[in-house]
Amino acid sequence: MAGIATKHTLPAPFHEYELDDAFDEMVDSGGAVRPHYRHIYEALRELTGEELRRRQQIADLSFLHQGITFTVYGRDEDTEHIFPNDLLPRVLTREEWSRIERGMKQRITALNLFLKDIYHEGRILNDGVVPREIIYSCKHFRRQMRGLHVRKDAYVTVAGTDLIRMPSGEFVVLEDNLRVPSGVSYMLVSREVMKRLFPDLFRKCGVQPIEHYSQALLSTLRALTPQGSPQATSEPNIVLLTPGVFNSAYFEHAFLARQMGIELVEGRDLVVHDNFVYMRTTAGLRRVDVIYRRIDDDFIDPLAFRADSGLGVPGLFNAYRAGNVSMANALGTGVADDKAVYAYVPAIIRYYLKEDPVLDNVETYLMSDPLQRKHVLGRLQDYVVKAVGESGGYGMLIGPHSTAEQRDEFRRRVEEDPRNYIAQPTIRLSRAPCFLDGNVQPRHVDLRPYILFGDKVTVVPGGLTRVALRKGSLVVNSSQGGGSKDTWVLD
Amino acid sequence: MLSRVADSLYWMSRYLERAEHTARVINIQLNLMLERGSQSEDLDWARVGRSLGMEASEEEDAWSAESLAQSLLHDASNRSSIVSSIVNARENARQVREQISSEMWEQLNRLFHAVRRSAPEVWDSRDFLQSIKEGAHLFQGVTDSTMTHGEGWQFIQAGRYLERAVAVSTLVGAHFHEFHQPAQAAAERVYLEWIGLLRSCTAFEAYCKAYTADVKPERIAEFLVLHPSFPHSIRFSAEALEMAIVKIGREAGSRRAAHVERIAGRLRATLGFGQIDEIMAGGLQAYLHELLRQCGHVHSALYQTYISYPIEAALEA
């Protein structure tokens, strides 16, 4: 009813801005514009649709000319698309942000302690806080990592954690990305574009800067330089390892390498000799100290992991084991972002830090538990079912938007391999104003802040706000019709 | 600098030079064909193909005017076509996106999208060809003014001038093979062909300043092969190539640099001490053939020294 009641109550270009029961980032439940959106709201009232469209075009061209494209797998032609970027920023207050920041720092600290523990003594398993079988049955658990010392115990160096906002306005954690999280380049580039398009607004609002991300990432990586490297005191050699130009995130790899001033290498650029890693340069071979790797565990070394990988470096794992090279993130971190382990993160935080979690989890049902399974399978249309090891919106069922056949198919899959699935209630993500079809309309959004863990923990204020651009859609993944927008944390 | 990066910069530059050269040669040919009349078009296009170094094959018979021309412009499967040169240049640039300036990448990307968008018919392609030339020149200017003139830039120079030396040698060879028959040197039609050759190397105006508009094949050969300061002469290209290679050796600080420097130096000396009357007497074709062979050597030596060296050799060094 709320939607009908408030229709046409806002003036152009907001005349199609309908409210419903999801939390709205711009308008409160009484239909009034929230104070931290006031500047944007007023600016939009003054700009003509024509002018907004012109700025949208400038933004799109800027993305196209910079080659900011992503690849959609499984289609033959024209696999390069520009990443849809919405013109309007998503705004957070300083108070909202400081809670998120505290939550993120707490979470990554606990998860790193957890990873160290399960790859060494396994106290948390012995104490029965996390069931042993859930760890050892996880496909991202790497037994090769047991007992291996990770420099500074920084297992997860870079994390991208997905947050969503409940109808109550509270932020909760939807999932952790602890392997090779991507998207930070879109955050940085769309900020550049926004500063060019809305300089006045930007100045009026007082937005906290994010431009130091690359610098912070570089110092974080530098902190991982192996002890005893001859280059440790002078200039450690840090490289970014990419699968190559055909990877969907290649733009980001190149972008970050350039921003940090480090070499962007592919597997074929590196050679291992006597457990040391070298890169092949025009001046001969040069020793490598730290590898910021953007290749999955499985592909990093054909001798230690998948033998059919042509992307990795033969012998790299042995050099890593010998402590002659550091990798960020460490291998085997995927066990901590397994969606079944996710359900235990609040307990993990309490166990290691003796604190309550700052940010809650989404209520999660483990399909390996017979009672929980029975409950969910009885009302599949109300739940989102996810495969535990997948990301990017692949391998999931969204109950309310599914057909009976899809539900039957998932029921069968869950019963075949219950450990591989979890279920969560369908959550109405919060909505933020987007510029679409010449006017402003609300769309569902999430938030992915980026967290760096080295000598200290750094979270740049903001992150990537992902948008489900299709009306009514709750899926924000770029592979499934999602886009992004700039995120402004006000000072 | 990573060997792979040097490799990509070198080829990016070669492909772009190739695209620009091809666009220029075709543009001049289109102009000449208007003068020649349409009966000889098939032969003309076959010669264009040869002067661009396309391998003659059994398909040669099938080279009709339209299809060959169209293929040289837009056929992505034809390795000599303009579109594949641009696509390859951009693909190489994409491999080293973080090594080149954003301005360079944006300019090359713009050129790439322009080429992919428009596919005009041959006779409507003048604007298209013009835009390729301008796009390539713009890229070169942007490169020179936004990229550090360090090792990477020197690899770009090396690629450009090696490609140019090869392209001009091939073009001059094909042209002399076809038209250099002293008996009919005065015929008006042939006069136009010589001017066409000069124009294909952007050399007509520069030639006139040096020798007046009095067109003599031997002078043209001297100008295009041996001129010390005209940027499309083979000698100029060989000198620029050697200079780039010497600077690469200095920047990379490789102890194995002497080999490639000697080979590039020999090519430069072959041209620097060349005498046109001796060259003509000994046979221009043989001379050009020798230049192409030496260019090939420079390319392989560059690879052995900096790009695809064996690990053992590098560890000893």
Give tens-digit pLDDT for B271-286.
999 999 999 999 999 9
Closest-CA distance, A245 to chain B, in angstroms, reads 6
Q: How confident is the model at residue B14 (pLDDT cuts 50, 70, 90)?
A: very high
- The yes-or-no verdict on residue A66 having pLDDT over 80 is no
Check CB contact of B292 with chain A, cutoff 8 Å. no
> Which residues numbered 108-147 in B keep a CB inside 8 Å of some CB on A?
109-110, 113
Q: Least CA distance to B111: which residue of chain A?
A: A65
Alpha-carbon torsion, ordered B121, A66, A300, A345, to 10 deg: -130
pLDDT over 90 percentage in chain A = 71
pLDDT of residue A430: 95
Query: Is B3 close to A280, i.e. CB distance below 8 A?
Result: yes
Check CB contact of B246 with chain A, cutoff 8 Å. no
Query: Is B91 close to A245, i.e. CB distance below 8 A?
Result: yes
pLDDT of residue A3: 42
Burial class (CB in 10 A: 0-12, 13-18, 19+), A310: exposed
Please list every residue in chain B whose beta carbon sits closer than 8 Å to the beta carbon of residue A67: 94, 97, 105, 109
pLDDT of residue A74: 47
Query: Is A285 close to B3, i.e. CB distance below 8 A?
Result: no
Q: Least CA distance to A247: which residue of chain B?
A: B95
**Of the spans A393-397, A457-461, B34-38, B69-73, which averages the highest pLDDT?**
A457-461
Closest-CA distance, B106 to chain A, in angstroms, reads 5
pLDDT of residue A4: 41
Name, in order, each residue with C-beta under 8 angstroms of B176's C-beta and a sequence gap of 6 or more: B217, B221, B284, B285
Query: Is B254 close to A283, i.e. CB distance below 8 A?
Result: yes
Q: Least CA distance to B251: which residue of chain A?
A: A283
Q: Least CA distance to B315: which residue of chain A?
A: A285
Please list every residue in chain B whose beta carbon sits closer than 8 Å to the beta carbon of residue A265: 2
Q: Report the distance separating Cα B306 and Cα B285, nearest Å.
A: 32
Check CB contact of B7 with chain A, cutoff 8 Å. no
- The yes-or-no verdict on residue B186 having pLDDT over 70 is no
Q: Which CATH number fits domain A94-189+210-353: 3.40.50.1470, 3.30.70.60, 3.30.200.20, 3.40.50.11290?
A: 3.40.50.11290
Check CB contact of A134 with chain B, cutoff 8 Å. no
Query: Is B98 close to A64, i.e. CB distance below 8 A?
Result: no
Closest-CA distance, A148 to chain B, in angstroms, reads 29
What pairs with residue A423 in β-bridges?
A365, A385
Q: Is the peptide bond before A13 cis (omega within 30 degrees of 0)?
A: yes
Please list every residue in chain B whose beta carbon sits closer than 8 Å to the beta carbon of residue A258: 97-98
pLDDT of residue A26: 95
- The yes-or-no verdict on residue B62 having pLDDT over 70 is no
- Crossing angle, helix B204-211 and helix B188-200, to 10 degrees? 110
Q: How confident is the model at residue B64 (pLDDT cuts 50, 70, 90)?
A: low
The model's pTM is: 0.81
Q: Report the distance separating Cα A245 and Cα A260, nearest Å.
A: 19
Q: Least CA distance to B151: which residue of chain A?
A: A282
Closest-CA distance, A237 to chain B, in angstroms, reads 13
CATH number of A364-425: 3.30.1490.270
Check CB contact of A129 with chain B, cutoff 8 Å. no
> What count of other Cβ atoms lies within 10 Å of the Cβ of residue B58?
6
Closest-CA distance, B4 to chain A, in angstroms, reads 7
Residue type, B13: S
Q: How confident is the model at residue A351 (pLDDT cuts 50, 70, 90)?
A: very high
Residue A481 falls in which region: left (phi positive, over 0), alpha (psi -120 to 50) or beta: left
- The yes-or-no verdict on residue A1 having pLDDT over 50 is no
| pLDDT tens readout for residues A318-340 | 999 999 999 999 999 999 999 89
Check CB contact of B226 with chain A, cutoff 8 Å. no
Q: Least CA distance to B116: which residue of chain A?
A: A78
**What is the residue extent of each domain of chain A?**
94-189+210-353, 364-425
* Residue with more model confidence, B267 or B192: B267
Query: Is B94 close to A284, i.e. CB distance below 8 A?
Result: no
Tell me which residue in B2, B253, B314 faces A265 most closely, judged by beta carbons. Answer: B2
Q: Could you tell me whether strands A360-361 and A171-177 are parallel, antiparallel, or unpaired per DSSP bridges?
A: parallel
Mean pLDDT of chain B: 88
Q: Report the distance separating Cα B115 and Cα B12, nearest Å.
A: 16
3-class SS of residue A465: strand
**Residue-wise burial string across A52-62, b where 16 or more C-beta atoms lie within 10 A, e elsewhere:** beebbeebeeb
Closest-CA distance, B13 to chain A, in angstroms, reads 18
Mean pLDDT of chain A: 90
Mean pLDDT for B52-80 is: 72
Query: Is B254 close to A269, i.e. CB distance below 8 A?
Result: no
pLDDT over 90 percentage in chain B = 62
Mean pLDDT for A399-407 is: 89
Tell me which residue in A65, A268, A285 faces B4 most closely, judged by beta carbons. Answer: A268
- Where are any strands of DSSP class E within A204-356? 238-241, 263-265, 270-273, 276-281, 284-287, 290-293, 326-328
Query: Is B95 close to A283, i.e. CB distance below 8 A?
Result: no
- The yes-or-no verdict on residue B248 having pLDDT over 70 is yes
Name, in order, each residue with C-beta under 8 angstroms of A266's C-beta and a sequence gap of 6 or more: A241, A242, A243, A244, A311, B4
Q: A52-56, A81-85, A183-187, A243-247: which has the minimum mean pLDDT?
A: A81-85
**What is the residue extent of each domain of chain B?**
1-147, 150-317
Check CB contact of A282 with chain B, cutoff 8 Å. yes
Check CB contact of A285 with chain B, cutoff 8 Å. yes
Check CB contact of A273 with chain B, cutoff 8 Å. yes
Q: A129-143, B73-87, B152-166: which has the minimum mean pLDDT?
A: B73-87
Q: A8-12, A195-199, A211-215, B1-5: which has the minimum mean pLDDT?
A: A8-12
- The yes-or-no verdict on residue A218 having pLDDT over 90 is yes
Q: Report the distance separating Cα A372 and Cα A423, nearest Å.
A: 9
Q: A246-255, A449-458, B168-177, B236-245: which has the minimum mean pLDDT?
A: A246-255
Query: Is B94 close to A67, i.e. CB distance below 8 A?
Result: yes
pLDDT of residue B316: 55
Please list every residue in chain A whose beta carbon sits closer than 8 Å to the beta carbon of residue B2: 263, 265, 269, 279-282
Q: Report the distance separating Cα B33 and Cα B28, nearest Å.
A: 9
What pairs with residue A431 in β-bridges?
A24, A444
Query: Is B98 close to A283, i.e. CB distance below 8 A?
Result: no
Closest-CA distance, B98 to chain A, in angstroms, reads 5
- The yes-or-no verdict on residue B122 having pLDDT over 80 is no
> Which residues numbered 208-247 in A keep a CB inside 8 Å of some CB on B?
244-245
pLDDT of residue A308: 86
Check CB contact of B4 with chain A, cutoff 8 Å. yes
pLDDT of residue B197: 93
Query: Is B4 close to A251, i.e. CB distance below 8 A?
Result: no
Please list every residue in chain B whose beta carbon sits closer than 8 Å to the beta carbon of residue A273: 311, 315
Mean pLDDT for A9-17 is: 84
Tell me which residue in A245, A281, A285 faces B95 most closely, judged by beta carbons. Answer: A245
Closest CA to B220 of B171, B293, B164: B171
Name, in order, each residue with C-beta under 8 angstroms of A243's C-beta and a sequence gap of 6 or more: A250, A266, A267, A294, A295, A299, A311
Query: Is B248 close to A282, i.e. CB distance below 8 A?
Result: yes
Please list every residue in chain A whose beta carbon sits closer than 8 Å to the beta carbon of residue B151: 282
Q: Report the distance separating Cα A378 and Cα A387, nearest Å.
A: 18
Q: Do domains A94-189+210-353 and A364-425 have the same CATH topology?
A: no
Mean pLDDT for A282-293 is: 94
Q: How confident is the model at residue A31 (pLDDT cuts 50, 70, 90)?
A: confident
Tell me which residue in A254, A268, A281 faces B97 most closely, judged by beta carbons. Answer: A254
Query: Is B97 close to A258, i.e. CB distance below 8 A?
Result: yes
Please list every residue in chain A whose beta carbon sits closer than 8 Å to the beta carbon of residue B91: 245
Edge-to-edge strand order for the sheet containing A171-177? A360-361, A171-177, A158-165, A450-453, A457-459
DSSP state of A363: P
pLDDT of residue A39: 94
- The yes-or-no verdict on residue B249 having pLDDT over 70 is yes
